[in-house]
Amino acid sequence: MTSTVRTRIAPSPTGMFHVGGARTALFSWLYARQHGGTFVLRVEDTDASRNRPEWTEGILSAMAWLGIGPDEYEGPYHQSDNAAAHAEAAARLRESGLAYYCDCAREDVLTRTGDPHRGYDGFCRDRGLAPAPGRALRFRTPDTGVTVVRDLVRGAPEFDNRTLEDFVVVRGDGSVLFLLANVVDDATQRITHVIRAEEHLPNTPKQQLLWEALDHTPPVWAHVPIIVNEKRQKLSKRRDKVALESYRDEGYLAEAMRNYLMLLGWSPSDDREIVPWSVIEKEFRLEEVNPSPAFFDEKKLRSFNGEYIRALPVQQFVAACEPWLVTPPAPWPADRFDPAIFAALAPLAQTRLGVLSEITALVDFAFLDSPVDDDASWAKAMTAQAPELLRAVRAAYAEVPWEAGALKATLEELGAERELKLGRAQAPVRVAVTGRTVGLPLFESMAVLGRDRTLARLDAALARLTTGQPTG
């Protein structure tokens, strides 16, 4: 075993990249960087019935988005390429007497023990069965003593060897199970530190015994806490939003996601949370990871993301929004988008976003021929006073200097004449111009939209109030 730190991440290409796997990848990558070591990427692709090439590409893409690009890891290796070494290791265990063939079905064990919760009872240990189709190969666990796991997060948990059943390492069809394949791959790739989720801890004494049986020094283990939802249930892809790609596609910034994932089990000094990556890289200590379950709080992540968005230089913010400004997904015709208009609106929008995908709804009024038709907003804003107020606003706005301050002062004056505070007075104007009751600062938005387009929308709203039918 090399003295150089070598960590790894070993995802299975059976779905999108889980945020828990992303957290583990970050911990492993950063630990290797801190110690001048190597981070290895191994794709565990031996489940041919569920593997798909696009899932592998998705994993690589998601990791690159987080900042772990091809130049940051060794690999990717594929577990399927190491099948010969898996088979050779199984043969070594059999020849050394540390594994034996077994033809027991689960029903046989239940008949003998009468306990559906009891593990294998060792019936075939001394039968001396020869290899044959349908016979599994079981590892012979020690009858006495304890297996001590050296874990940087959990100390030194001990496992009584008498409680470890003789577990299967090769199925009856000849395929090698995860427990053995994983050990062989880690040993082949000289992994010194295995950082993974707590759910794998029960397998660790079995794998440590396999490391020793194959004459390898076991790695240092670090079982990081499971990630739970708001009900303190383990995150599940069937129930929770867990795919890293989904957050990326919704408009979360990689820097915000990376910062947040690092806090799932660890904290920087001085109770800070939003900190530069340079600080995280300097302060992170695997030994300081809290073993308690870590709550994945989507609301908190969204708040993080908003902070990161607001911290962007405006030009970077404009560039980050680009994927949501093209048609599609943007609802406006491609030739109606005006980069200069968006650049003028960008500083107004930047302070209001939680995720970048929200930019489309905030600025669509500027690029559509007419504002969106939102029945709820219309019903809320177009009160009995709206027609008369809009006529007065339309007349005043035809003459007023076209800048935000003058537009606001004019509406304030018109509202005061009708005993309306500005918030009430601007509601029908906002809906007439933008289609919604909430959005960017109204007066700055109208200043950017221009006098002609604003007046045309006020006219359309008045026509609708008269006829009851949307226009445009």
Please give the positions annotated as active site: 237
Report CA Rg, the chain. 31
Note whether 150 and 223 are within 8 A (CB).
no
d(CA 180, CA 213): 11
Taking CA atoms, 253 is separated from 128, 279, 305, in Å, by 59, 18, 6
Note whether 209 and 24 are within 8 A (CB).
no
Note whether 1 and 216 are within 8 A (CB).
yes
d(CA 19, CA 218): 27
The whole-angstrom distance between residue 224's C-alpha and the CA centroid of its chain comes to 17
Note whether 260 and 301 are within 8 A (CB).
yes
Whose tokens are 């997904």? That residue is 329
d(CA 336, CA 368): 7
Residue 173 three-state SS: coil
d(CA 133, CA 124): 16
Which amino acid, one-letter code, is at 316?
A: Q
Q: What single string gives the DSSP state of each residue in 28-62?
A: HHHHHHHTT-EEEEEE----TTT--HHHHHHHHHH
Residue 438 three-state SS: coil
Residue 100 three-state SS: strand
